[in-house]
Structure 1
Amino acid sequence: MRAKNVPAWTLRRTIPSDTSVGSALAHELVDAMLERKWPATDLFRVQLAYEEAIVNAIRHGNRHCSDKTVEVEMSCKEQEVCIRITDQGNGFDPAAIPDPRQQELLEVPGGRGVLLICEIMSEISFNDTGNQITMIKRREDFPPEQCGG
């Protein structure tokens, strides 16, 4: 059963480089998805992708610097969730991330977040600087082909 006539939910927050604060926002997103009757599998997947992206922004982007912040923008509609996370780091080149499925990287800890996000979300993009990710999930959509594999 799908939600009927539930208006779009939006959130825009600037948060400190603190993963616990970033994780708390995931609960608000899940609540918005529940109100719009998203399937449980999508709830789990979107929350996981969000958690990976917010941790990457805080840990790798801002390097846990207390004087840096992360901008989080999220919206949830009946058929689509959009998440944009922007850190104040120097950015990175997404194409330069090694594939963690390569034999020599299989037992190396870390390095799987972007791949996981690619596998979960319907669409992802980065700004030119590489310090902003935009993730879109369409209801019951399968992952895109753009992430390789």
Structure 2
Amino acid sequence: MIRNRVVIVDDERAVRDLLERIVLRENLVPDSYGDGREAFEALRARHDDVLLVITDIKMPRLDGLEFMRLASQDFPDTPFIVTSGHGTKKEILQALKQGAMDFFEKPFGIRELSSSIGKVRLLADAGRKAEQLYGYLVRKTLLFEITNDIDLVQPLIRVLIDEAKLACRIPRNQLPGIRMGLHELIVNAIEHGNLELESELKQRADYLVFLKQRAGEPRFSGRRVTIEVGIDAESFACVIRDQGPGFDWRCLPDPRNPENLFKPHGRGIILAGNFFDEFNYNEAGNQVTVQKSFPL
């Protein structure tokens, strides 16, 4: 997919007009907004078409730094160029730390900004060719061994999903299900597997504090969760293994039985079990294997 849209964010109409002319001269499509909030909503709606965001730092409603922070959470692959007429050097440095590819002080030079846009296009072309190369991939295996730090789960899932999007012929409407299923199963391996926590403890107001304290106790701190993922063009498979004592998985509610939907326990298993095509525990109950297929 060729991305050709450039989101422009500046509260000065004259600056937006200038940036639009520069973008058009590069044979790209300008998409201009007067504040960061509107621009963020546009990025969310058209992310697949966006090559670049050019944003001012100082703006009403949502400034450039906060816009970048929000965008990095949902769209970490979107490059940013920041401009500043009123921002301090400290704010520009912060933008660079947050991942901005370049910065310009107003009034900026047209040639310099065009050159920076050209560099972004070169990087995008290289990324697109790398994606095409994945069409020749036979199979890719990823192996992670993580601690019981619950804060590692979401970043790990993001990495796995990014790999799946490149290597697997996966419809985009299937991605939320994979994210959800992996999250439930990895968290389950940490909480109920390695840390041996009962489901009732989640009712505690200080549950997250309690969980982290438990993870630091000598009895549990050395335990790990292993996540092994195999990806090819037609399937996504994952084996999640904890180092806890296991459990009798036969006592779990059948995830595909409608009568079990509203039972108080096993909700995560029901969600994951209904999304993946294959869902199996080992005999000990400390390893689960799931697979989702995307045949031709």
Identify which of structures 1 and 2 has the higher relative contact order when contacts are C-alpha pairs closer than 8 Å and 6+ apart. Answer: 1
Q: 2:289 aligns with which of 118, 134, 148?
A: 134
| Gapped regions of structure 2 (runs ≥ 5) | 2-131, 196-214
- Hey, what does 1:8 align to over in structure 2? 139
Aligned twin of 2:174: 42
Instruction: Judging by fraction of residues, say which structure has more helix.
Output: 2
Percentage of pairs with the same residue: 32
Distance 2:137 2:269 in 1: 31
Q: What's the secondary structure of 2:291's corresponding residue?
A: strand
Q: CA deviation at 1:7?
A: 4.0
* Number of the residue aligned with 2:245: 90
Aligned residues: 139
AA at the equivalent of 2:142: L
Deviations 1:72-108 (A, max 9, x none): 10121110111001101111122202469658x8374
Deviation at 1:31, TM superposition (A): 0.7
Secondary structure of residue in 2 paired with 1:116: helix
1:21 aligned onto 2:176? no
Corresponding residue SS for 1:117:
helix
Contact 1:42–1:139, Cα closer than 8 Å, also in 2: no
Structure-2-length-normalised TM-score:
0.43
Q: CA deviation at 1:9?
A: 2.4
| Alignment root-mean-square deviation, CA | 2.6
Match of 1:54 in 2: 186
Matches within 5 A, 1:112-123: 112-123=267-278
Gaps of 5+ in 1: 141-149
CA distance in 2, matches of 1:139, 1:22: 25
Q: Is the 8 A contact 1:10 1:75 kept in 2?
A: yes
How far residue 53 of structure 1 moved from its aligned partner, in angstroms, is: 0.5
The TM-score normalised by the length of structure 1 is 0.80
Query: Which protein is bigger by CA-based radius of gyration?
Result: 2
- Within the candidate set 204, 218, 223, 1:68 is matched to 223
- The answer to whether the 8 A contact 1:16-1:68 is kept is yes
Q: 1:81 is matched with which residue: 196, 217, 236?
A: 236
- Change in 2 beyond 3 A, CA 1:99/1:121: closer
